[in-house]
Amino acid sequence: MQSTTSGKRADTNDGLPTTRIVRVALPVPLPKSFDYAWPNRLSMPAEPVGCRVRVPFGRGEAIGVVLETAGESPHEKLKSVAAVLDDASIFDPALWRMLRWSAAYYHHPIGEVLAAALPARLRTGAATPALHEPGVAITASGRAALADGALRKGPGLAVLAALADGPLPLSVLCERFGPAGRAASTRLRRRNWVDACPLEPRTELRSTLTGPALNAPQQAAVEAIDAVRARYQAFLLDGVTGSGKTEIYLRAIEHAIERGRQALVLVPEIALTPQALKRYRERLRAPVLALHSGLSEGERARAWAQARAGDACIVLGTRSAIFSPLPNAGLIVVDEEHDDSYKQADGFRYHARDLALVRAKLLDVPIVLGSATPSLETLALVEGGRIERLVLNQRAAALARAPDVRLIDVREQRRIAGIGPTAMAALADALARGEQALVFRNRRGYAPVLACQTCEQWHGECSRCDHPMTLHRQAAQLVCHRCGARRPVPRKCPRCGSETLDARGIGTERIESALAGHFPEHAIIRIDRDSARSASRLDAALAHVERGAPAILIGTQLLAKGHDWPRLTLVVVVDADGALHSPDFRAPERLGQLLTQVAGRAGRGDRPGRVLVQTREPEHPFWRQWLTGGYANVAAAELDERRNSALPPYRYQALLSAEARNPQALADFFTAALALAETADASVARMGPVPAPIPRRAGHHRMQVLLESATRAALHTLLAAWLPSVFDLREARRVRWSIDVDPRDLY
DNA sequence: AGCACGCCGACT
DNA sequence: GTCGGCGTGCTC
């Protein structure tokens, strides 16, 4: 319809006195917007802010979003908007305000922030997607074929039989029958036994299951959330593993749904499993839209459209689901709120939990942050009265009491692949009783270092990262865990030529082979990123565990959370000492969280659980804190420590980091950037530039400057004044640089 | 970021 | 004689 103008000149007035101008955010890494004339031949929406427009940009065209309208522009050479793609804002009001706020708070270019909040299709200018999803229905001849028994047993018959009860979405066929379901439906369609039909959003999963009776603390928590009457209030749902947090979420969501509202549930990256999804779908009488990385673009756009339609539904997703449209929100839930996967680690470095708090406030709805091991940031907000804490201190009825946790001093113990006799005997006992055990070691591979015993000079190191390479014996490779580089294992020392290469340290693979030798008649199952590479192998391993046969599982973080294995009664932590000496001030917090989560795997059934933690430093104060009062104790001590040392959450930080092949370019960048900030507020401390925690990765040198302030306002005032000029530096073009507000990894 | 323009090496 | 390396500059 609109034949686009060349864009060389603004086809402005057409004789009229004024030209309407719009400021447009475009998806480029520049901290500014672009002004365009609005041509008279295009009718302007009543409220153009938030509408997508197609505009000439550089040599081509780009899709942008109108930020505001303006009377005049400081720019001379205005081009004209070529087309408007929406007749009203594509973002609901609270989402729009949250996104504008985020761009300012994280000091990230607004165009990239807005682009991050749209499914790729909408980003590239597609019309807002249709609500219906592709489905298939049985035809009359299909029914006849079914009645005649014209099909042999197989997926085709199964699919056809399922469709006899009514049409089904393709996605449900895939869920029920796997890839064979889709293939079968294509074959059936060719024979005219089924036909394509667009379906309303899923409604067939509405369930009538009701939840279990609540114990007293659960009842109190539900009542506290209901009592705020759908207004903004933040809650911390603080409850040990097995105390029934999910049940509280479900009740609160049910109440939002009953009021005809939407609920947003954020979960950590690993937590969005089919089982978790099933639990929500079984209980909630409204569509549950799952947003995860496995969705196709079509599915993603459809889910977006469905959320945007505003009907009562549950949006369940990981970090980026915080950008879902929710025009009719009634509740936000952030499960495992302490989880680091809520922080985006590159590009637009937002924290989904923090954005969720902002969004709930803007929406004026309650938000529930749940965790057995809350972050110190959240605990500080509780302390300051900004978040109300709801404590669940009882394990729900069917579950056993808290596990018995013991520290094992391994200094004098002879260990096999890191496992001392006490732990080995406990493993043998558990297997003899027909139970399962988990051996936790947060290190993949066979051994973290391969070194020469003869010359004591050589050890395998990644040439691009200056970091020891991990020996993977099964793969017969040295692997750099930082950049992923792989090379074959040398047979002889490259330096002295002797054949005395020695694997040093313990990885999961080494534990696996040692235990396989020790318990040859039992299943030894290793679960980490290497063994879980193929989904089918992981599924097979997990299925074995779920059947409950005696077994030893060996795993990394992957195993620490989410799973509920009733036959698992013993957890062995091989070595946690490294974290006791980490320079990272968050290490004790993380260790406390990890150990508490791992310990929570033990004894979830009717049998008591045991946790054995091996250490060479039983006298370290961390252990007394954790053993006597659990994570709550660790957290209280750490909060004191943070306050005394002026660290977050009592101080505010931002990290300017940069990387470049050429170290001189890197140094020049920091010199120029810091020179620009010289006259700025002296109350904001600047530390660095210093080499980054990973000083060299994949051939790039990396450095950083930490900015720190006692107040958020001072830090942000400085950043807002300073960063725009950093963007303009010529030195900035020779490096990759970024700003990280509220960084999680400084060390 | 994407994209063009612009001067210096190994190839048909 | 050209294809192409990535340094530099720009995008309303």
CA of residue A30 to C1' of nucleotide B3, angstroms: 16
Shortest CA to C1' contact from A78: nucleotide: C12
Minimum-distance nucleotide, CA of A30 to C1': B1
Contact present, A70 and A45 (Cβ < 8 Å): no
H/E stretch holding A180: helix A179-190
Q: Which nucleotide is nearest, taking the CA of residue A112 and each C1'?
A: B1
The answer to whether the beta carbon of residue A734 comes closer than 7 angstroms to any atom of strand C is yes
Q: Which nucleotide is nearest to A59 (CA to C1')?
A: B3
Residue A384 pLDDT greater than 80, yes or no = yes
Give, in Å, how far the C1' of B9 lies from the CA of A663: 25
Q: Closest nt to A733 (CA→C1')?
A: C8
* Residue A106 φ then ψ, to 5°: -90, 0
Distances from the Cα of A548 to the Cα of A404, A568, A569, A605, angstroms: 21, 8, 11, 11
Q: Are strands A262-266 and A314-317 parallel, antiparallel or unpaired?
A: parallel
Residue A463 has a pLDDT of 75
Which of residues 40-99 of A have CB within 7 Å of strand B?
58-60
**Residue A4 confidence (pLDDT) above 60:** no
DSSP assignment letter at A88: S
Tokens for A353, please give them.
């939990």
Q: What string of DSSP letters covers A605-628?
A: SSSPPEEEEEES-TT-HHHHHHHH
Residue A426, pLDDT above cutoff 70: yes
Residues 6+ apart with CB under 8 A from A666: A658, A659, A660, A701, A702, A703, A735
Instruction: Give me Rg for the CA atoms of chain A.
Output: 29
pLDDT score for A182: 80
> d(Cα A348, Cα A116) in Å, to the nearest integer?
8
Q: Kindly determine whether the C-beta of residue A146 is less than 7 Å away from any atom of nucleic acid strand C.
A: no
pLDDT band at A17 (very low <50, low <70, confident <90, very high): low
pLDDT digits (tens, 9 = 90+) for A564-579: 777 888 999 988 888 8
Q: Nearest to residue A641, comparing CAs of A607, A679, A592, A599?
A: A592
A188 touches A194 (CB < 8 A): yes
Q: Is the pLDDT of residue A546 over 80?
A: no
The C-alpha atoms of residue A613 and residue A609 are separated, in whole angstroms, by 13
A477-CA/B2-C1' distance, Å: 38
User: How high is the pLDDT of residue A91?
Assistant: 97
Does strand C come within 7 Å of the CB of A57? yes
- Separation of alpha carbons A301 and A414, rounded Å: 58
A152, A145 in Cβ contact below 8 A? no
| Collapsed DSSP state (helix, strand, coil) of residue A679 | coil
Q: Provide the pLDDT for residue A442.
A: 85
The distance (Å) linking the CA of A60 with the C1' of B3 is 9
A736 touches strand C (CB under 7 A): no
> Helix, strand, or coil here: A431?
helix
Q: Which residues contact A242 (CB under 8 A, 6 or more apart)?
A: A395, A396, A399, A600, A604
Cα separation of A401 and A602, whole Å?
A: 10
How does DSSP classify residue A173?
H
End-to-end CA distance of chain A: 56
Distance A15 CA to B3 C1' (A): 36
Query: Which residues, other chains included, contact A209 with Cβ-Cβ below 8 Å and sequence gap of 6+?
Result: A282, A283
Residue A736, nucleotide of least CA–C1' distance:
B1
Q: How far is the CA of A530 from the C1' of B12 (A)?
A: 47
Among residues A253, A321, A249, the alpha carbon closest in space to that of A290 is found at A321
Instruction: Confirm if A108 and A25 have CB atoms less than 8 A apart.
Output: no
A633 by Cβ neighbours in 10 Å (0-12 / 13-18 / 19+) ranks as middle
Distance A727 CA to C9 C1' (A): 14
Which is nearest to A539 in space by CA: A288, A267, A178? A178
3-state secondary structure of A198: strand
Question: Rounded CA gap, A621 and A591, in Å?
Answer: 13
A483 versus A720: the higher-pLDDT residue is: A720
Question: Which chain A residues 4-43 have CB under 7 A to strand C?
Answer: 28, 30, 32, 34-36
Distance A731 CA to C10 C1' (A): 16
Q: Which of A59-73, A356-370, A498-512, A587-601 has the highest mean pLDDT?
A: A356-370
Q: CA at A314, C1' at B2: how many angstroms apart?
A: 38
What average pLDDT does this structure show over A594-601?
85
User: A443 pLDDT exceeds 60?
Assistant: yes
Lowest mean pLDDT among A114-118, A318-322, A526-530: A526-530
The H-assigned helical ranges of A564-711 are 587-599, 621-644, 663-676
- How many angstroms is C1' of B9 away from CA of A662? 22
No. of H helices and E strands in chain A? 20, 33
Distance CA A123, CA A116 (A): 9
Q: Is the CB of A730 under 7 A from strand B?
A: no
Segments in A229-269 forming alpha helices (H): 245-258
- The protein residue nearest nucleotide C10, judged by CA to C1', is A58
The residues of A between 359 and 378 with beta carbon within 7 Å of nucleic strand B are none
Q: Mean pLDDT over residues A364-376, rounded?
A: 97
How far apart, in whole angstroms, are the C-alpha atoms of residue A733 and residue A728?
9
Through-space separation of residue A657 CA and nucleotide C12 C1' in angstroms: 30
Nucleotides, chain B, CB distance < 7 Å: 1-4
Task: Convert the pLDDT of each residue in A238-287 to its tens digit.
Answer: 988 778 899 999 999 999 999 999 999 999 987 777 888 888 988 898 99
Contact status, residue A551 vs residue A523, Cβ threshold 8 Å: yes
Q: A53 CA, B4 C1': separation in Å?
A: 25
Residue A529: predicted pLDDT: 78
Residue A419 neighbours by CB distance under 10 Å: 26
Q: Is 50 exceeded by the pLDDT of residue A398?
A: no
Q: Return all residues near A710 (Cβ < 8 A) that are at least 6 apart.
A: A646, A651, A652, A683
Count of residues in chain A:
747
Sheet containing A610-615: order of strands: A404-409, A610-615, A568-573, A436-440, A551-555, A523-527
Q: Mean pLDDT over residues A5-29, rounded?
A: 67
Q: How many CB atoms lie within 10 A of CB A734?
A: 17
pLDDT digit string (tens) for A448-484?
Answer: 888 888 888 888 888 777 788 898 988 888 888 877 7
Asked whether residue A729, judged by its CB, lies under 7 Å from any atom of the DNA or RNA strand B, the reply is: no
What pLDDT was estimated at residue A208?
Answer: 64
The pairing of strands A79-80 and A461-462 is unpaired
DSSP string for A418-479: TB-HHHHHHHHHHHHTT-EEEEE-S--SSBSEEEETTTS--B-EETTTTEEPEEETTTTEEE
Give strand letter and number of the nucleotide nearest A57 (CA to C1').
C11
The number of beta carbons lying within 10 Å of the beta carbon of residue A153 is 7
Structure tokens at A369: 């942050």
> Is pLDDT of A486 > 90?
no
- Mean pLDDT lowest among A401-410, A533-542, A615-624, A651-660: A533-542
